[in-house]
Structure 1
Amino acid sequence: MILFLKIYCSRKYFKSISYWRLKLTYYVGLDAGSVYCKLVIIDEEKNIKAKLVKSIEGSPNNTSKQIFKEGLKDANIKKKHITKIISLGRNRKKIPYKTTQESEILMIASGATHFIPELKTIVDLGALTNKAIKLNDEGEVIDYVINDKCASGSGIFLELVSKALEMDSIDELGEKAALSKNPIAITSQCSIFAESEVIYLVNEGKDELDIAAGVSNSIANRIYSQLKRVQMEKEIALTGGVANNIQIKNRLEERLGFKLKDVPINPIYIAAFGAALSALEK
């Protein structure tokens, strides 16, 4: 009899746990950018249950389907458990799900200030654009500057340079650049001319470390100019995929004269995380 009661109670316990788990709700931020699609799933306690990034090769529609399916699998949940999806990014209108579209600027601010409430300025470094965002004491956006006139200050340009230098990623480009002793200045302001300049330097037999450093420093200098345009204040963080380039960060800190704040997750996910937070809070 005692054994029967133990088994019965155990079954009731696990059933209640399963029921409770299924009643939990989850929230999704889907950042469908120009080159990469990023997804973050959080629970009601704002814990990250899944985060993924995929290169958009061909159709943004198919890429968003794939990353959503993989995200559900990683989080060990089903689509019916998702309460709300907020989307952003250049390809947000091509996402094949019912989503609420939000401003990329606001989602970046939401994600970054969740981790660092005292932030006053954010620089988001994306595939096509760099954004300098100024915040007030409450973490609200009060000004921003977007530089998208030329891709030579963006992630796409860095990827082209990485390939020209036979490096695997923007991250590796930054790591190699940090080892340079004599950075070579890159003078071209246009991405096409700048890429040609890099290829010329490679053909001339210049040290790839010095070329990588010159390219990274050039982008850091442009970011510094953007920061001045929004009248930056201390407590600055970098977000976006290009923020993983260590030399850009080092050079920018050198220009600023103080250390930047570090977000505790890969900065490429900050906008998607902010979108997931907004899905939960609205």
Structure 2
Amino acid sequence: MRSAQPALAHLLTPWPGHWRCLWRDGSDSPTSAWTGMNFALEKTDLKVENIDYCIGTGYGRVNVPMAQQSLTEISCHARGANFMYGPEVRTVMDIGGQDCKAIKTDDRGKVLNFMMNDKCAAGTGRGMEVFADLIRVPVWEIGPRSFQIQKEPPMISSTCVVFAKSEVVGLLEAGMPENDIMAAYCSAMAHRIMELLNRLGIKEKFAITGGIAKNEGVVKRLEKELGIKTADRVWYKKEYIDRGYPFDTQLAGCIGAALFGQALLKMGKAKSARKA
């Protein structure tokens, strides 16, 4: 992009003249990437020829045909968290759909070390979606409802999403209230995330990115287990919001990629974006 801010505005934000593209794609990543790019361009006065640099990130990053470079989501989430939460962030927990990544970073958002869990979906956003489908509750209701309980129930004990699913079915059949089951699942997820953070070593300021950062049932229980508060959005500048740049933890990786693109442009390393 010509700069990081246009990248954020034109591709990410549903604001006057600004759009983001977010949907479930299929197995054809290159076509999905072009669909997203073309949709965003149609909503602006830009053409693909106006895009000076494009970076692919995430699990499908190598299949983004218009990208000159691909970067890991680890690097992009660290940089995005630095932008969103401020340069004091030293530990980032990215809880995505497919894995969890605990990241140590410096004041510039550079990755110093990381650990990840990509072997099982139990502590990921996908695990939460499976759980939501199982109990037939919208995923965004799970966090608030997990606190509508008489007392905190024992957490789900299974560390595998398949076995956890069986355990949840058993609890439903036993007549356990849905809200209690939600609390038990959120507690289990928070505990697994804490174990990963403890293996890496956590240092404040601590920030969470990814979709699970929006689930207060997991976040508040994680804060209690760790004994520290997660970073808030106080640092995020009002001018960003006024100009249409959303504070959305699911977009941290995209924001980081745009900022890397801006840096490459300033270094004079960018070339025109690839054409279809």
Q: TM-score range by the shorter chain?
A: 0.7 to 0.9
Q: Which runs of 5+ in 2 are unaligned?
A: 237-246, 265-276
What does residue 204 of structure 2 align with? 234
3-state secondary structure, aligned to 1:66: helix
What does residue 158 of structure 2 align with? 188
| 2-structure distance, mates of 1:181, 1:187 | 20
Matched, 1:206 2:176: yes
RMSD across aligned positions (CA):
2.2
| 2-structure distance, mates of 1:28, 1:62 | 25
1:247 to 217, 233, 237: 217
Query: In 2, are the aligned partners of 1:128 and 1:155 still within 8 Å (CA)?
Result: yes
Q: Taking structure 1 as reference, are residues 177 and 76 closer, same or farther at Cα in structure 2, changes over 3 Å only?
A: farther
Q: CA deviation at 1:58?
A: 3.9
Query: In 2, are the aligned partners of 1:132 and 1:145 still within 8 Å (CA)?
Result: yes
Q: CA deviation at 1:89?
A: 1.3
> TM-score w.r.t. structure 2 length?
0.81
Q: Taking structure 1 as reference, are residues 95 and 208 closer, same or farther at Cα in structure 2, changes over 3 Å only?
A: same
**1:119-130 map, 5 Å:** 119-130=89-100
Query: In 1, are the aligned partners of 2:82 and 2:107 still within 8 Å (CA)?
Result: no
Query: In 2, are the aligned partners of 1:184 and 1:210 still within 8 Å (CA)?
Result: no
Q: CA deviation at 1:180?
A: 2.8
| 1-structure distance, mates of 2:187, 2:199 | 19
| 1-structure distance, mates of 2:62, 2:109 | 28
Q: CA deviation at 1:27?
A: 5.5
2:119 to 143, 146, 149: 149
Greater mean alpha carbon deviation, residues 66-75 or residues 233-242: 66-75
3-state secondary structure, aligned to 1:237: strand
3-state secondary structure, aligned to 1:232: coil
2:83 to 97, 114, 127: 114
**1:1-282 map, 5 Å:** 25=2, 41-42=8-9, 49-115=18-84, 116-169=86-139, 171-182=140-151, 183-263=153-233, 265-282=247-264
| 1-structure distance, mates of 2:192, 2:141 | 21
3-state secondary structure, aligned to 1:153: coil
Q: Taking structure 1 as reference, are residues 186 and 93 closer, same or farther at Cα in structure 2, changes over 3 Å only?
A: same
| 1-structure distance, mates of 2:44, 2:123 | 35
Q: CA deviation at 1:75?
A: 4.0
What does residue 33 of structure 1 align with? none
| 2-structure distance, mates of 1:139, 1:157 | 28
% identity of equivalent residues: 29
3-state secondary structure, aligned to 2:53: strand
Higher relative contact order, structure no. (Cα contacts within 8 Å, ≥ 6 residues apart) = 2
| 2-structure distance, mates of 1:240, 1:88 | 14
Q: Over residues 223-262 of structure 1, what are the superposed CA-to-partner deviations in whole Å (9 max), with x where a residue is unaligned?
A: 1111111211111010011211111111011112222113
- Tell me the matched-pair count: 244
Q: Over residues 46-76 of structure 1, what are the superposed CA-to-partner deviations in whole Å (9 max), with x where a residue is unaligned?
A: xx94333211234223322222222223444
Q: Taking structure 1 as reference, are residues 129 and 28 closer, same or farther at Cα in structure 2, changes over 3 Å only?
A: farther
Query: In 2, are the aligned partners of 1:162 and 1:168 still within 8 Å (CA)?
Result: yes
> TM-score w.r.t. structure 1 length?
0.79
Amino acid at match of 1:223: I
Q: Which runs of 5+ in 1 are unaligned?
A: 1-23, 30-39
Query: In 2, are the aligned partners of 1:119 and 1:237 still within 8 Å (CA)?
Result: yes
Query: In 2, are the aligned partners of 1:118 and 1:139 still within 8 Å (CA)?
Result: no
Amino acid at match of 1:216: C
Query: In 2, are the aligned partners of 1:111 and 1:270 still within 8 Å (CA)?
Result: yes
